[in-house]
Amino acid sequence: MAVRVAVGLSESFDAIEAFNEAAADAARGLDAPCDLAIAFSASPHVARGKWILSAVHEQLEPANLIGCAAGGVLAGGHEIEDGPGAVVWALSAPGATIETHHLLAERDEERFEIEGMPADPGEAMLVIADPYSFPTEALLGELNESHPGVPVLGGLASAAVGGRGVLLCDGDVRSEGAIACTLSGVPLLPCVSQGAAPVGPEMRVTAGDQNRIEELAGRPAIQRLTEVIAALGEREQELARGGVMLGVVIDENQPDYERGDFLVRPIIGADQTTGAIAVGEQVRVGQTVRLHVRDAASADEDLREALRRQADALGPAGAAGALLFTCNGRGSHMFSVPDHDAGALDEALGVPAGGFFCAGEIGPVGGRNFLHGFTATMAVFPAG
């Protein structure tokens, strides 16, 4: 039996009614045993975690359940950025191995120790983390080293009760840490749109250390970037005046680099005396970098191109469903139309999809997992 996905959405002001409705709709659409349910609760419902769990369990009887509270939720091409919203996403994957885990972190003098980490992360992992109590980048770094190539998708919860997060794991409401869900035997394709457009030429880092770049293509970094910006077209220069970012190629084992091959990070500092710049990522001598700019138009173009590549990769069988984790700085804050990211996903793939607005998004670039900002990351489940 093939993978099946269904999603339910309710905008009822009553939390119990909302999640009963959303879960019942998901159950009808799934019409099969539920191996994984994911519940996303908009801010007005965040204090009702136990009732939310009860409603979803009653309607779907899921073998596994995860979820969180968020500043906004989305489903079926529609985004709810303000007001009540309840989304229940359901997966049936016969023969798959799916397990949930509650992760906590303890710090010693040198590093974070992740507690509850599964010995086997499976073939893919979903992670929803509390941004205040859990070092997501430490988890991703550990997974990148111990299990390279395993994609991790998800985001940071963006709503809280009394300053504490609301995470859902099976029958429990957790206020700290992260919820992880490991999946094996169910196909998953990651899709990441960083919402930025590359401009100017590719350059090599010829001197630098850690997140500091001293030279680009043999010249002081500030001087080289100034020359690149001066050579841009009028529109690109205008965008650059609003702020430029640097894209760093992570996987250099390919002849050419497309926009999705760059990990986009902000330029966070410059030293006019030495001509060096600092970026929000570790770099090494020899890496290829390229300037990037971001606005609504470039973010729209980048998302649609990423979805086009995803649709091509799926082939004729298409997808069974998808999860969308989009930045809470996107939505109506970035775009002039409502439902932008959810609508683009629905238009490109036309499958049941759900997700939430995140305070940080998790997804792979160049085969390594990263925590992003202003990004839309997607977990796409092929139908075949």
Looking at the structure, tell me whether residues 84 and 120 fall in a common domain: yes
As given in the structure block, the two tokens for residue 323 are: 């999860």
Question: Are residues 220 and 369 located together in one domain of the fold?
Answer: no
266 lies in the same domain as 287: yes
How do beta strands 36-42 and 65-70 pair? parallel
| 210 and 178 housed in the same domain | no
User: Within this chain, do residues 175 and 304 fall inside the same structural domain, yes or no?
Assistant: yes
**pLDDT confidence tier of residue 70, bands split at 50, 70 and 90:** very high
Q: Is the pLDDT of residue 176 over 90?
A: yes
Domain range enclosing 214: 197-293
* pLDDT for the residue numbered 256: 80
- 161 in the same domain as 42: yes
Q: Last residue of some domain: 246, 274, 293?
A: 293
Q: What's the chain's average pLDDT?
A: 93
Say yes or no: 184 and 305 in one domain: yes
Instruction: Assess whether 376 and 307 both reside in one domain.
Output: yes
Task: Give the pLDDT score at 264.
Answer: 95
Co-location of 53 and 149 in the same domain: yes
Q: Are residues 158 and 209 in the same domain?
A: no
pLDDT at 76: 93
Which residue, 238, 264, 293, sits at the end of a domain?
Answer: 293
> At 143, phi and psi to the nearest 5?
-65, -40
In the predicted structure, residue 252 carries a pLDDT above the cut 90: no
Task: Please tell me the predicted confidence (pLDDT) of residue 1.
Answer: 58
Closest CA to 274 of 201, 353, 219, 337: 219
> What span, in angstroms and rounded, lies between the C-alpha atoms of 67 and 53?
9
Q: What pLDDT does 98 receive?
A: 97
Q: Are residues 52 and 140 in the same domain?
A: yes
Domain end: 293, 322, 342, which one? 293
State how many domains the chain has. 2
**Are residue 107 and residue 155 in the same domain, yes or no?**
yes
